[in-house]
Structure 1
Amino acid sequence: MDPAVTTEITEKQYVETTEIIRMDLAQVKSAFKRKTFEAVSAEAKEESNLLNNVTLEIAITGRSGVGKSSFVNALRGMKDHEEGAALTGVTETTMVPQEYTHPAFPKVKIWDLPGIGTNEFNAEEYLKKVNFSKYDFFIIITSDRFTKQETKLALEIRKNKKKFYYVRSKVDIDIENYRWSKRIYEGDIHEKMLCEENTLDIIRKDSYEKLKALGESSPRVFLISNWDLSKYDFPLLQETFEKEQDEIKRDVLIMSLPILTKDSIKKKKAAMESLIWKKAMVSCSVGLIPLPFLSLGCDIAIVAVTMREICKVFGLDEDSLNILANRVGKPVEELKSAIEHTPSTGMITTEFVMDILKRSAVWGAITVAELVVGFIPVLGSLYGGGSSFATTFYLLKNFLENAVKDAEKVLAKAAEPKKPK
């Protein structure tokens, strides 16, 4: 095991984790008040594998050359021209819908649709051609002014009762051009910020007025940079996506989008907390089976799989770290140096989980089981169920807390200025 990563659960960690569990159990208790154990268990089992079972299809469309493919790459946490990235170019490179799977979550698919064409563009025919019904929502992109083509498409999407979002890309280029037009080359930081605010205000006002004139009653436009999604309106766009999806697809979306800020880490944590108690319910059901090899009080395989999923969600797996290193232009080993508590996904085996169980037995297994059973009496009446639920819940909650800490450190490390060569 990597000596830089610690898996031993200390008394302090145990106290912190059990206090968090005490608060989170309220959600589980509420579920039992509304439904029977069997109903809650069946629902939990169905939803516990949402990352493997729920497909999310996002369509990116707009005129040719506006940055659709670059935005596809940005959503996948990738740079243009790296292996597996969507093709980009000044001319239309997408003649038919191109599917790009998320590098960590293959059920999340981002579609680069063909350009919407000329003034003779027929929105109804276009949507039939690209198989409209398969997408969960549409992002309509432009890099300059919105035209009749975009509004025709938007109105047709609305008529068919699907969500869409207007996005204005490449605003960083507009800001830079505005700076040069005002001869603000270096200047002080206040002057630069004022220039940025003025440019964004001009673009917002122009986009709003143009769309109103084209028939949109109350248009929403999100300003973004394909090169840095943490800037401008992308966090607001992400929040809007999440609010307008059903609960399951919302969680999948939150889990799959790249980590840009501490707030995105917070949202991922909440989504994983919702998943963890469902995984514990599945383990509880397994715990009801009185077999000797399940006597440890939890399903080891469920715990190991979920720990690997947590690593992927927080960008701590090998592939995600490599993608981030490439995006920020830093050696992957530099990013890995920030990780103190979370092992690589290859190390998370059933033997790894067994080792944690042995290390945590002194502090956790019995007392947490008593806490859970005392809080949710129905689990105490089940043969092995309460213990199994408690042990799985405890191990995964503790792992999640550590993953959050490491994700924050990796984010900070990625944001540090590059070291001079």
Structure 2
Amino acid sequence: MCSDSDTNNAIRASGESTLKRAKKKAQQQFEHLFNVSLNIAVTGETGVGKSTFINAYRHLNDDDEGAAETGVTETTAEPTPYEHPTIPNVVLWDLPGVGTPNFKVKTYVKKIQIDRFDFFIIISSVRFKENEIMLAKEIQKRKKKFYFIRSKIDNDIDSERKRRKRKKTFNIEETLSKIRRDCQENLKELGNPPVFLISSWNLSAFDFEELVSTLNSELPEHKQYALLQSVPITSMAMLEKKVAVFKKLIWAAAIVSGGIAAAPVPGLSFACDTAIVISFFTRCYHAFGLDDRSLKKLSERVNKPELKDWKKSPLLNELRENLCKLIPCAGSVAAAAISFTMTRDLLERGLKALADEARMMLSEAGLV
């Protein structure tokens, strides 16, 4: 028999004053985790690495199935959407190169239908030029956010290292500072926006994590959930940010589960509670980089082939087998309260198990 403390725990976890309001907020938060769209526009001149960046963000190599087409000539004739392979509500758009004959700067924003995008990433592989600056001004006028990426940084580092090898004066930090200053010099009229130095071949290097942190701080909270689920894990710190997202929403999943359990329909509680728990853990599994595709990409990036054969957690299969023992099926107020408590505890234990496995995997990869 349930106690008032179970219901009170659910209300307290929500930060609301009544169970009705707690359920409403929980449903909204849970929907945000799975269904909020995030549309990222990636643009710049021809050949700067737009498609390669999109592929890297989506855990894909350029020759993988479903990858954005790459090349030294313009390969994008129209705005082309690319769904994230495991977080389908996140879409990266490969936009035609700004300033091409069919996409003049003055008509570019209208042709690409700017309102459908949450923010713009403007990429250049050299100094930012007039076209990028004019485009940024047009985006500004329409109250949209934009972020500058200086791509192919690994190539610049290699070239500078070779150039200075004889003099033995190469310093990577000085080289990066010089590249950053050169880029920012051309962007003064935009108010000195930050420039993020990125190598799409190795997102763990340079400024990718700083870019993610900046995006995360400027997006609405419900959009942050989509961003942090979808970005590649480049360090232990990045993993912990992802874990924090799921921890924050455990209460919502548990209350949604409890709300379903209160419905007097035989069998409905079990089916829905199972779906909620499994879908929550499946999102964790992919967001933490434990799926085959992510492990393969990580093993290639850190040159450790053994990571491709990382032993998978049996947690999800165990949950499918044992949920019937853990979650009540009877439709009643008692079942609702028990379902909240038990689902919350189950989600906490499962999240910890998956997070610990991901931590071990990153330690093995050397990404501490």
Give the TM-score of the pair, scaled to structure 1: 0.77
Q: Which residue does 1:5 correspond to in 2?
A: none
Q: Which amino acid aligns with 1:406?
A: E
Q: Which residue does 2:4 correspond to in 1?
A: none
- Separation in structure 2 between the aligned mates of residue 64 and residue 322 of structure 1, nearest angstrom: 30
Q: Which amino acid aligns with 2:187?
A: L
Q: CA deviation at 1:286?
A: 2.0
The answer on 1:209 being equivalent to 2:185 is: yes
> Are 1:336 and 1:410, in contact at CA under 8 Å, matched by a contact in 2?
no
Structure 1 residues 314-323 or 162-171, which shifts more? 314-323
Closer, same or farther: CA 336–403 of 1 in aligned 2, 3 Å: farther
Q: CA deviation at 1:80?
A: 1.5
Runs of 5+ consecutive residues of structure 1 not aligned to the other structure? 1-24, 359-364, 366-380, 417-421
Q: Which amino acid aligns with 2:365?
A: A
- Separation in structure 2 between the aligned mates of residue 233 and residue 180 of structure 1, nearest angstrom: 23
**Equivalenced residues, count:** 357
The answer on 1:413 being equivalent to 2:359 is: no
Q: Which residue does 2:55 correspond to in 1?
A: 73
Closer, same or farther: CA 225–184 of 1 in aligned 2, 3 Å: farther
The answer on 1:139 being equivalent to 2:135 is: no
The answer on 1:97 being equivalent to 2:97 is: no
Q: CA deviation at 1:320?
A: 3.3
The answer on 1:196 being equivalent to 2:196 is: no
Q: Which residue does 1:165 correspond to in 2?
A: 147
The answer on 1:390 being equivalent to 2:341 is: yes
Q: Structure 1, residues 333-354: CA drift from partner, whole Å, max 9, x if none?
A: 6444355xx2275x36632434
Closer, same or farther: CA 121–103 of 1 in aligned 2, 3 Å: closer
SS at match of 2:204: coil
- Separation in structure 1 between the aligned mates of residue 34 and residue 288 of structure 2, nearest angstrom: 17
SS at match of 1:175: helix
Q: Which residue does 1:369 correspond to in 2?
A: none
Q: Structure 1, residues 131-188: CA drift from partner, whole Å, max 9, x if none?
A: 1110100000000011011110001101100110011011111111111111169x8x
Closer, same or farther: CA 244–284 of 1 in aligned 2, 3 Å: same
Q: Structure 1, residues 366-388: CA drift from partner, whole Å, max 9, x if none?
A: xxxxxxxxxxxxxxx95333211
Closer, same or farther: CA 208–59 of 1 in aligned 2, 3 Å: same
- Separation in structure 2 between the aligned mates of residue 236 and residue 170 of structure 1, nearest angstrom: 17
Q: CA deviation at 1:259?
A: 0.8
Runs of 5+ consecutive residues of structure 2 not aligned to the other structure? 1-7
Q: CA deviation at 1:238?
A: 0.4
Q: Which amino acid aligns with 1:343?
A: P
The answer on 1:350 being equivalent to 2:332 is: no
Q: Which amino acid aligns with 1:240?
A: T
- Percent of paired sites with the same residue: 41
SS at match of 1:383: helix
Q: CA deviation at 1:48?
A: 1.0
The answer on 1:224 being equivalent to 2:198 is: yes
**What pairs with 1:4-403 in structure 2 (closer than 5 Å)?**
29=12, 31-32=14-15, 34-117=16-99, 122-183=104-165, 195-212=171-188, 215-289=189-263, 293=267, 299-325=273-299, 327-328=301-302, 330-331=304-305, 334-337=307-310, 339=312, 342-343=313-314, 347=317, 350-354=320-324, 357=326, 382-403=333-354
Q: CA deviation at 1:95?
A: 1.1
SS at match of 1:231: coil
- Separation in structure 2 between the aligned mates of residue 121 and residue 54 of structure 1, nearest angstrom: 30
Closer, same or farther: CA 413–37 of 1 in aligned 2, 3 Å: same
Structure 1 residues 149-158 or 113-122, which shifts more? 113-122
> Are 2:97 and 2:103, in contact at CA under 8 Å, matched by a contact in 1?
no
Q: Which residue does 2:3 correspond to in 1?
A: none
Q: Structure 1, residues 391-415: CA drift from partner, whole Å, max 9, x if none?
A: 0010111111111111112223334
Closer, same or farther: CA 336–279 of 1 in aligned 2, 3 Å: farther
Closer, same or farther: CA 102–234 of 1 in aligned 2, 3 Å: same
> Are 2:233 and 2:289, in contact at CA under 8 Å, matched by a contact in 1?
yes
Q: CA deviation at 1:313?
A: 1.6
> Are 2:99 and 2:105, in contact at CA under 8 Å, matched by a contact in 1?
no
Q: CA deviation at 1:50?
A: 2.9
> Are 1:119 and 1:149, in contact at CA under 8 Å, matched by a contact in 2?
no
